[in-house]
Amino acid sequence: MTEIYPDFYDRFRCLAGDCRHSCCRGWEIGVDPESAELYRGMAGDLGEALRAALCESGDGCSFRLTEDERCPFLRPDGLCRLILEAGEDALCDICALHPRFFTELGEFSLSGLGLCCEAVCALLLAAPELRFASSAGEDLSLSGLLLRLGVRLPEARLRYRPNADSEQFRELLRRYGDCEPIDGAWTAELAELNAALPEAAERAGRRVEGYDAAAYDRIYGYILYRQLERLPEYGIEPLLAFARDACDLIFLCETVRGELPERLRRWSEEVEYSTENVGRLMDGDKF
């Protein structure tokens, strides 16, 4: 099986205490059976803390979060007590792998890094172009990768051009509003954007000639890449539409609030980490 991954994959490094949006807050932290067994047998104060934090249910095992939804092992300085006292090998699978993702598609294994992580957003936005490497030593463009998957598209269809139509933005916000938010702040953000129309759409229209086209092309392509696991089920057109709509929303958010990396991270956090939300946006009748 040929492994494919973005060419910046190996440059990823967790920001640890410097991260503004720690993945150790606000997310359920599932603990795999092997790690849970390790924690049950660990000695000392750390072992006691681990056993006290384990919460078992019919769905498996997880860490019991604090009242403010933090991992109990996230220290005030943003560092992980478990890593500091027991080393990275003691991490449960989800903590060791995040924000990486893996999927198999035919004879290919696609790997990547989720955009909910600010370090990953920085890597994507700093890349001169979106390229992919493979375990066979290949250097692939997105169109070249798609061709390997049996999808032939002209380069123009892999470039993003912004929408600046107020009614299209309103419909886009309605559809995103039908999704399940991960936190209430996202609902408020969408409502704020809706209230700002049509003035925000006019501002977006004025930006069309001066926006960072290369950056948005990379975002568009990478969002498409992230969803290629759905190619056999949906075909390419819904995936392209999903990526385009995502960029339209990010573009509108950046127009109103600025700071593209954070707008990108926030979209990913709220949307592509929910299978149901992605499904609703691609095909509302299925969910």
Measured CA to CA, the distance from residue 78 to residue 261 in angstroms comes to 21
Among candidate residues 236, 233, 222, the one with its CA nearest the CA of residue 272: 222
Give the pLDDT mean for 258-274. 94
Q: Render pLDDT for 79-117 as a digit per residue (tens, 0 to 9).
A: 999 999 999 999 999 999 999 999 999 899 999 999 999
Q: Which two three-digit tokens encode residue 13?
A: 């490094």
In the sheet that holds 30-31, the strands lie side by side as 30-31, 60-63, 54-57
**Percent of the chain scoring above 90 in pLDDT:** 82
Query: Which amino acid, residue 167?
Result: E
Q: Render pLDDT for 65-77 as a digit per residue (tens, 0 to 9).
A: 998 889 999 999 9
